[in-house]
Chain A
Amino acid sequence: MGFLDRFLKAPSWGVHPEDHKRPAADAPLRLFPSPERVFMPLSQHVGGAARPIVLVGQKVLKGQLIAEAQGNISAPIHAPVSGTISAVGEVTAPHPSGLPFKAITIESDGQDRWIETDPLADPFAATPEEVARRSALAGVVGLGGATFPSAVKFALGKRLKVGTLIVNGGECEPYLSSDDRIMRDFPEQVVDGARIVMHAIGASEALVGIEDNKPEAIAAMRKAAEPYPEVKIRPVPARYPMGSDKQLIQTLTGKEVPSDARAAEVGVLVHNVSTCAAVHKAIRLGHPLVERIVTLNGGAIATPGNVYAPLGTMISDLLAFVGLKEAPSRLILGGPMMGTPLLHDRIPIVKGASGILAFDAAEAFVPEAGPCIRCGNCTKACPMGLLPLEMAARIRVGDLEGAEAYALQDCISCGCCAYVCPSHIPLVQYFSHAKGELTNAERTKLRTDATKRLAEAKTARIERENREKAEAAARRKAEREAAKAAAAPAATPVAEQTQGASA
């Protein structure tokens, strides 16, 4: 980038970290040999966890449904290898807490036999609803990291009459190149998938935004998109977080998504390039989402590059495949800016796993945090126009509501602020902490309200029961007395007689 470009062309937001994408991005895609055992988690997507429909000991084929979607927003899970179900148990989640979640274990028979597939020869002749239905059944979710079930987004786009599909080839996270690789190696799949998605949502054009630090991907995609004028390849400046939906929409269309609205409400829908390729496979080949490209990168890895691996493969197996130069000092799922730190490597890869980074000691070095000097670098870097320093100052003293007043909930956790902070304050952790606490507080409040209603209902019931009992008792008493009274006239003369006698 030229000297003047630095001042004139670059967007005013974001940061420009060193990308570290090569040589991993240039290494040819490697096929991961079928693992002995896979652990297929039941919640690899936003929404309800899938419900297992297989039994331990059952034989399954590759691509066979093993857990069905549950609820409106959910996605089914399919077997990534052929073999035998050996357990429906728990495995460590790819999550900073290291807590477990449910997963189905499959012992591979090593043959990778596919189940019989049901491809759709001409998706453009089918109704958009049929395309969405098939995508949903194939378990396609957003592969850029959000893992939102794609079919739900298709329906939303169709309902809100979205005109523009944005295909996200930004991949702005340093180190990662799985999207780059899919655009270089399978551009026809991406373009075809994008056209199918356009059909599914009724869009008239597709804008493929690719950061200009991936010239090979741009060239390959241009070539693949040549026959289709409605698919437009648009290089965008390499600037983190260009791959964030809101920033990419703004760069490509100039539109801004209102803070309380979804992108579809301004007439655009964003899908990742890998998601488009997955849609292509789901529709044209009938293949459910059971494999993906994973970037393995970082200083501790001997042969960094991209690997085509079945979902559910243990990270330790992948690391063994690419080889380690040294014991990693830090293991990250995703990119260095937003990735999830992992506590160990006995964790399976999931649908949203774009990369595994194994950092060496130098890369993992964390400078000690100092006091905020109010330099304002964080406010300049924030792509959302927030004031990270003001929010963090409030969270530090426990004033979460104060931070909320600075629009904490608009924070996209992109990490730009903490990246540029000269004092290396863990700003994102402050915000994640506050958002989590606020969510929990909200949940507790709902729960308290619910239990209060229950308690009131019980009190009311007990009172009613007591009243009814009292009434019943009173009634019985009255009846008894009435009976007594009825019996009395017979006895009265006797009494009178007695009285008279005594008088």
Chain B
Amino acid sequence: MLMSVGSLAAMGLALGSVLGVASRYLAVEENPIEAELQAMLPGSQCGQCGYVGCAQAAAALAKGEAPVTLCPPGGKATAEALAAKLGVKVDLSKVSDSGPQIAEVTEEICIGCCRCMKVCPTDAIIGAAKQIHNVIREACTGCSSCVDVCPTEALGMAPIPVTLQHWTWPKPASAHS
């Protein structure tokens, strides 16, 4: 009786100290996930999430202070990727995902004031003073910073049109549920 209690206790102690030592010496340095998270964000530093830039947003995500749905330009896809990385469940149906959007200039109203060009984080707007501006579709991240500064509301957000190259078959409706 005493023998078995003693041996079990000894084993417990031994294994426990092994675990303790292991946790001390094999501890993971700092939070490497922050860099990974930052890599998943669009990186346009648009500030729509409420943080100064993508690095700060990633830090908040890593600490669990911000929801994975924080990034409007990233949309559903980014939220999904973040949720998968952080291992959290998230109800994506509430993410307003009108699909990825990009800025569009209404040429009739544009006065060529150049304000939008200055705020665009990716230099996606081209033009010169008193010239109608234009958006380079491939470079626009859809951060909508330019929309806020446009004095004539010539800038607006429009969904990226679905093309033959982008169209995919929808997932078949499941037999169950």
Establish whether residues B174 and A101, one from each chain, have CB atoms under 8 Å apart when the complex forms.
Answer: no
Establish whether residues A441 and B77, one from each chain, have CB atoms under 8 Å apart when the complex forms.
Answer: yes
Assuming the A-B contacts A441-B77, A451-B122, A458-B122, are A369 and B162 also in contact, with contact meaning beta carbons closer than 8 angstroms in the complex?
no
Assuming the A-B contacts A369-B172, A441-B77, are A455 and B164 also in contact, with contact meaning beta carbons closer than 8 angstroms in the complex?
no
Q: How large is the interface on A (under 10, 10 to 19, 20 to 34, 35 or more residues)?
A: 35 or more
Establish whether residues A454 and B122, one from each chain, have CB atoms under 8 Å apart when the complex forms.
Answer: yes
CA of A459 to CA of B44, assembled, Å: 10
Chain A residues near B174: list those with CB within 8 A.
396
Chain A residues near B124: list those with CB within 8 A.
451, 454
Establish whether residues A95 and B172, one from each chain, have CB atoms under 8 Å apart when the complex forms.
Answer: no
Chain A residues near B123: list those with CB within 8 A.
454, 457-458
CA of A450 to CA of B138, assembled, Å: 9
Establish whether residues A425 and B164, one from each chain, have CB atoms under 8 Å apart when the complex forms.
Answer: no
**Which of A423, A436, A456 lies in contact with B167, CB distance below 8 A?**
A436
Chain B residues near A441: list those with CB within 8 A.
77
Whether A186 sits at the interface, judged by CB under 8 Å, is no
Establish whether residues A101 and B42, one from each chain, have CB atoms under 8 Å apart when the complex forms.
Answer: no
Whether A117 sits at the interface, judged by CB under 8 Å, is no
**Which of A432, A448, A452 lies in contact with B169, CB distance below 8 A?**
A432
Q: Mark A403-429, 1 if CB is under 8 A from B, else 0.
A: 000000000000000000001011001
Whether B88 sits at the interface, judged by CB under 8 Å, is no
**Which of B42, B168, B176 lies in contact with A433, CB distance below 8 A?**
B168
Whether B32 sits at the interface, judged by CB under 8 Å, is no
Whether A229 sits at the interface, judged by CB under 8 Å, is no
Q: How many residues of B contact A (CB 8 A)?
A: 28
Whether A96 sits at the interface, judged by CB under 8 Å, is yes
CB distance from A90 to the nearest CB of B (A): 11
Q: Which residue of A lies closest to B46 (CB)?
A: A455
Q: Which residue of B lies closest to A372 (CB)?
A: B175
Q: Which residue of A lies closest to B81 (CB)?
A: A441
Whether A253 sits at the interface, judged by CB under 8 Å, is no
Establish whether residues B139 and A450, one from each chain, have CB atoms under 8 Å apart when the complex forms.
Answer: yes
Q: Which residue of B lies closest to A96 (CB)?
A: B169
Whether B121 sits at the interface, judged by CB under 8 Å, is yes
Establish whether residues B172 and A448, one from each chain, have CB atoms under 8 Å apart when the complex forms.
Answer: no
CB distance from B47 to the nearest CB of A (A): 12
Establish whether residues A95 and B42, one from each chain, have CB atoms under 8 Å apart when the complex forms.
Answer: no
Whether B141 sits at the interface, judged by CB under 8 Å, is yes
Whether B93 sits at the interface, judged by CB under 8 Å, is no
Whether B56 sits at the interface, judged by CB under 8 Å, is no
**Which of B139, B168, B169 lies in contact with A454, CB distance below 8 A?**
B139
Establish whether residues A459 and B45, one from each chain, have CB atoms under 8 Å apart when the complex forms.
Answer: yes
Chain B residues near A440: list those with CB within 8 A.
166, 168
Assuming the A-B contacts A395-B171, A458-B121, are A451 and B164 also in contact, with contact meaning beta carbons closer than 8 angstroms in the complex?
no
**Which of A93, A444, A451 lies in contact with B77, CB distance below 8 A?**
A444
Whether B6 sits at the interface, judged by CB under 8 Å, is no
Establish whether residues A99 and B163, one from each chain, have CB atoms under 8 Å apart when the complex forms.
Answer: yes
Q: Which residue of B lies closest to A427 (CB)?
A: B172
Chain A residues near B139: list those with CB within 8 A.
450-451, 454
CA of A368 to CA of B163, assembled, Å: 30
Whether A97 sits at the interface, judged by CB under 8 Å, is yes
Q: Which residue of A lies closest to B40 (CB)?
A: A448
CA of A432 to CA of B168, assembled, Å: 7
Establish whether residues A99 and B171, one from each chain, have CB atoms under 8 Å apart when the complex forms.
Answer: no
Whether B159 sits at the interface, judged by CB under 8 Å, is no
Chain A residues near B43: list those with CB within 8 A.
448, 451-452, 455-456
**Which of A425, A432, A448 lies in contact with B175, CB distance below 8 A?**
A425
Within 8 A of B (CB), among A67-122: 93, 95-97, 99, 101
Assuming the A-B contacts A448-B42, A458-B121, are A97 and B172 also in contact, with contact meaning beta carbons closer than 8 angstroms in the complex?
no
CB distance from B134 to the nearest CB of A (A): 16
CA of A439 to CA of B122, assembled, Å: 24
Chain B residues near A97: list those with CB within 8 A.
162, 164, 167
Chain B residues near A426: list those with CB within 8 A.
172
Establish whether residues A433 and B169, one from each chain, have CB atoms under 8 Å apart when the complex forms.
Answer: yes
CB distance from B77 to the nearest CB of A (A): 6
Establish whether residues B175 and A369, one from each chain, have CB atoms under 8 Å apart when the complex forms.
Answer: yes
Q: Mark A384-407, 1 if CB is under 8 A from B, else 0.
A: 000000000001100000000000
CA of A458 to CA of B163, assembled, Å: 30
A97, A101, A455, most chain B CB atoms within 10 A: A455
Establish whether residues A95 and B167, one from each chain, have CB atoms under 8 Å apart when the complex forms.
Answer: yes
Which 8 pairs, one residue from A and one from B, show the smallest C-beta to C-beta distance?
A436-B168, A452-B43, A454-B122, A432-B169, A97-B167, A433-B169, A426-B172, A455-B121
Q: What is A's interface to B at a CB cutoff of 8 Å?
A: 93, 95-97, 99, 101, 368-371, 395-396, 423, 425-426, 429-430, 432-433, 435-437, 439-441, 443-444, 447-448, 450-452, 454-459
Known contacts A396-B174, A451-B44; 8 additional CB pairs below 8 A are: A99-B163, A432-B168, A433-B169, A436-B169, A444-B77, A448-B43, A455-B141, A459-B45
Can you list 12 A-B pairs with a CB-CB distance of less than 8 A? Answer: A95-B167, A99-B167, A396-B174, A437-B168, A451-B44, A451-B141, A454-B122, A454-B123, A455-B44, A458-B122, A459-B45, A459-B121
